[in-house]
Amino acid sequence: MSIKSGNLKIGVLAILMQVTGAWATVTTLPRQNSNFQRASVAKEKEVTRLWFKIKASNKFERSKIADLGIAIEHVTEDYVYGIGSEDDRKKLLRAGILDVSFEFTDKMKIPVDSGYRNYAQITESLQNLASKYSQITTLSSLGKSFEGREIWVLHVSGNLKDSDKMPAIFYVGGHHAREHLSVEVPLRYAEKLLELYSQGDERIVGLINSRDIHIVPVLNPDGIEYDVQSGYYQLWRKNRSHGKNGNFGTDLNRNYGYKWGTGGSSHDPSSDVYMGPQPFSEPETQALKAYIEAHTNISIVLSFHTFSELVLYPWGHQYGGIADQKDFQVHEVMAKKMAQWNNYSPGQASSLYIASGDMMDWCYGEHKLISFTFELDPSNDWGSRGFYPGSDIVPSVMAKNWEPFLYLMSYADNPYRALEGKNIYSPMAY
C-alpha cells in the first residue's frame, strides 16, 4: 500500500505498470494431503487483471472504492491506483470514477529475486536456528495452510520452561503473498537476535532472558509459493483456498472476526480483498487466532506488510479512534516514537481508507493487545518495484526498523510505561 493523505507519504504505482497480474494459472505442487490433492485437480478460473487509475480525493471517496472490492495499492491527493478484473472495471465505469485502465501483459512480468527465500528455504533456515540455538528456541507449527504447509512459529526465550509466565510479544509477516520483504525481515531479525545472544550482547541477552518472543515469518505459505513458482512474480495477494466458480483465494487480512465485513472488503470471491465466506473461514487465520488465544501473556503484536513506510495502529474498520483514551494514547505515542527511528509516517489505519477484518483490529478489539502494522519500504514505487524491490534493500530496511523491533519487545512487560513522559527507553536499555 502506498499513500499520501495528510501527513502520510506516497509514491506512484509504477510497479503496476511493470508487473503481470495474478491471472496466470500455475499448477500447485502435490502433497500427501487432502487439500493438496484437491488443489492439484481443481481448475482455477483465469481472470484478466487490469490496472486502474481512479478519481478519489479523500478517505471517504477511497473507502467507497475499497467497498467496490478494488485492491487499492497507491494513493495520491486526487487519485488512487489499484488492480482488479473486467467486472471491477465495469463497476468503476458505472460509478463514473474510472480515469484510466489497461490490461497487464506478459512483457510486464518481473523475474523472481533469489535473494528472497522461498518456503523450503524458510523452513530450512528456521530448522537450522532451532537446532543451533536449542537451549533458547523451539520451532513448532501454528497449524497447516489450506494446501497443507506448516505455518512455522519460532519461539525464543532464555527460560523456555517458564516462558508462559514472562511478558510476551508476537511478530508475524507474510499475510499477503506478494509482500516477500515482509517475510524476509522478521526471519532475518530472528537470525540476528540469536546470533547476538550467542555473542553475549548485553542488551539482547537481557531481552531474551526476560521476554517470551514469538516470530511467524510467513502466515501465508501457499500464497508466497504460488507467487514465485513460475519463476516470475504473479502479483498474488491472497491465500490459495478454493472459492466459488473457480475463484481461488481469500484475503487473510480481511478474514479476522472483529467487525468482519463492515467495509473495505468484498463478498466477491474474485476480488483481491475477498473477505471469505465467514469470519475465520481460512485455516491460516484460524491457526493464528488459536495461537494468540492460547498465549495469554502476549501484550503486543506487530504485523509486517509492504509497502509505503507507515506505522499504523487501530482502528481500520472505522474513522473514529480508539474510545479508551489511555489505549489510544499508548498506540499514538509508541507509533510516533518508532517513526523517529524508521522515519516512517505514523497514523491510524483508517486515515487511509476503511478496511475491516484485519488482524490488528481483531487483536486489539477482541483481546486489547497493543497492535501495530508496519508497511515497510519502499515509500513509493518509482524505480523501486513497489511490492518487489530487489533483495539488496533488505539490509537497509532491517537497519531502520531494528530499534522499533526491539522497542516493542522491551515494552512487552507493560506498554503503558510509554506514557510516563520520561526517557525510560534508550537503545542501550532493555
> Which sequence positions are flagged as catalytic?
375
Distances in whole angstroms, Cα of residue 103 to Cα of each of 20, 68, 169, 385: 9, 19, 43, 18
Nearest alpha-carbon partner for 284 in 119, 148, 171, 182? 148
Are the beta carbons of 364 and 323 closer than 8 angstroms? no
Q: Report the distance separating Cα 215 and Cα 218, nearest Å.
A: 9
Q: Report the distance separating Cα 160 and Cα 85, nearest Å.
A: 49
